[in-house]
Amino acid sequence: MLTLLKENGPLRVLSTARVVSVVGDALSLVTLMVHVQSILGKAVAVAALLLVGDFAPALLSPLTGVVSDRFDRRTVMIVCEVAQGVLLAVIAVTLPPLPVLLVLVGLRAVLGQVFVPASRAAVPSLVDGKDLAQANTALGLGSNSADVIGPFLAAVLLTFLDTRGVLLVDAVSFLLSAVLLLRLPRLVVPSEPGTGVLADARAGLGEIWHNRALRIVFLGFCGVVACTAIDDVAVLQLTMVSFGRSESAAGVVLGAVGIGLLLGYALLSRGSARWSMVALLVTGFVISSAGNMLTGLAWGVASAFALQAVRGLGIAAMDVAHSTLVQRLVPADRTGRVFGNFYGGIGVAAAVSYIGGSLLLDAVGPSLTFLLSGGAGVLVALWALAASRAKGVEWEPARTPGT
């Protein structure tokens, strides 16, 4: 992976820009959560902020993915980063009341929903087909490292700067990312002539529905997320209620997934090319779900930490495998739409998990919730394994990556 980054300048630029951008995402999220909590003191306000930032853009995913298939993907990414920087600067200067803040955060989240499919769809144009898995590992490692670092950086900055100051630093980070992206080549993919936006959106949805192999990837991933995404909330209750430990202990257990992710990417950077991506995907489903299931049997903070770190290993495998499979299975002019729909589906699945999992937590407690939700995820993984081996499922690329 390091050799690929060293030799491939455009991939190095994209990876660096993603790191800067994701750090900015984490900075703004933590800072705005602290701001809303300190001003309003209501959990529902913070929940509304998270819902607008995560779930609302998912509803527009059939349309947001169209943008990166219709225009130069480099230009799309640059415009998104600049616009996000401007919106954050407006928030920093005005610190508006909650309704206006939610609208601005929602707009920024939609721009992010446009950016991510464009960045993933750009990868096959930057590397050879044999290097796709390693390129996705590099992107995943950089982005998730930044996601881990971001909250800590926000905590440090908030000791020296006020909310406005940190948000302005965040705005600058998006502008810096845009400047870095200027070094990419143009990333134009010929598209179907004469089609409208809605027709393009339908074609993106149809690509998933009519491609059996892609449908297995999509349904398996979303199914695992729908079963297990409640784990963050369950970890808090398991650590603080069942184990009787402090908030800081809960934070340590929550951080275990991030550590597992980084270890997973580090391992994949040495050997992902030797894996079948289908096998890697199903393995990721099993490991991430089993890590959650076995957390229900944890007897203390140390064991819960270890099992959640195992879950992180599985998530890393899922990330690299699904990205590589989408890039291989989908025609170049529809990759952005498929990635957009994919991440939109994951957002909806996570919302389902939050709602259903919360009801389950209240009914049976955290330990049984982990056992049931993780067990359900394992069943989804077994379905994906059986479906992937069925007759008539074609896992060969739809086109040569990078074209």
**Domains of the chain (ranges, CATH numbers):** 1-185 (1.20.1250.20), 196-396 (1.20.1250.20)
CA gap 146, 204 in Å, rounded: 30
CA gap 203, 116 in Å, rounded: 19
AA identity, residue 186: R
Q: Which of 69, 23, 28, 9 is nearest to 190 (CA)?
A: 69
Tell me how far apart the terminal alpha carbons of the chain are, to the nearest angstrom: 22
According to the model, what pLDDT value does residue 385 have?
A: 94
Could you tell me the two tokens for 182? 């200027």
Q: Cα–Cα distances in Å, from 46 out to 30, 73, 104, 215?
A: 10, 33, 15, 34
According to the model, what pLDDT value does residue 403 have?
A: 43
According to the model, what pLDDT value does residue 271 have?
A: 64
Overall pTM > 0.85: no
According to the model, what pLDDT value does residue 209 have?
A: 85
Rg (CA), the chain: 20
CA dihedral 38, 44, 47, 48 (to 10 degrees): -100
CA gap 307, 296 in Å, rounded: 10
According to the model, what pLDDT value does residue 401 have?
A: 41
Q: Assign residue 245 a region: left if phi > 0, alpha if psi is -120 to 50, beta otherwise? A: beta
Q: Cα–Cα distances in Å, from 31 out to 48, 172, 254?
A: 15, 15, 19
According to the model, what pLDDT value does residue 283 have?
A: 95
According to the model, what pLDDT value does residue 402 have?
A: 43
According to the model, what pLDDT value does residue 362 have?
A: 84
Residue 81's Cα: distance from chain center in Å? 17
φ, ψ (nearest 5 deg) of residue 71: -130, 170
* Three-state SS annotation for the chain: CHHHHHHCHHHHHHHHHHHHHHHHHHHHHHHHHHHHHHHHCCHHHHHHHHHHHHCHHHHHHHHHHHHHHHCCHHHHHHHHHHHHHHHHHHHHHHCCCHHHHHHHHHHHHHHHHHHHHHHHHHHHHCCCHHHHHHHHHHHHHHHHHHHHHHHHHHHHHHHHCCHHHHHHHHHHHHHHHHHHHCCCCCCCCCCCCCCCHHHHHHHHHHHHHHCHHHHHHHHHHHHHHHHHCCHHHHHHHHHHHHCCCCHHHHHHHHHHHHHHHHHHHHHHHHHHHHCCHHHHHHHHHHHHHHHHHHHCCCCCHHHHHHHHHHHHHHHHHHHHHHHHHHHHHCCHHHHHHHHHHHHHHHHHHHHHHHHHHHHHHHHHCHHHHHHHHHHHHHHHHHHHHHHHCCCCCCCCCCCCCCC
CA gap 134, 2 in Å, rounded: 9
* pLDDT tens sequence for the chain (403 residues): 667 878 888 899 998 988 888 888 778 877 887 787 677 666 567 667 777 777 777 778 888 888 888 888 999 999 999 999 999 999 999 999 988 998 998 899 889 888 888 888 889 888 888 888 888 888 888 877 777 777 667 777 878 888 899 899 889 999 999 999 999 988 877 666 556 777 777 878 888 888 899 999 999 999 999 998 887 778 878 887 888 887 667 767 877 888 898 889 888 877 655 678 999 999 999 999 999 999 999 998 899 999 999 999 999 999 999 999 998 888 888 888 888 888 888 888 888 887 888 888 888 888 999 999 999 999 999 999 999 998 877 876 654 444 4
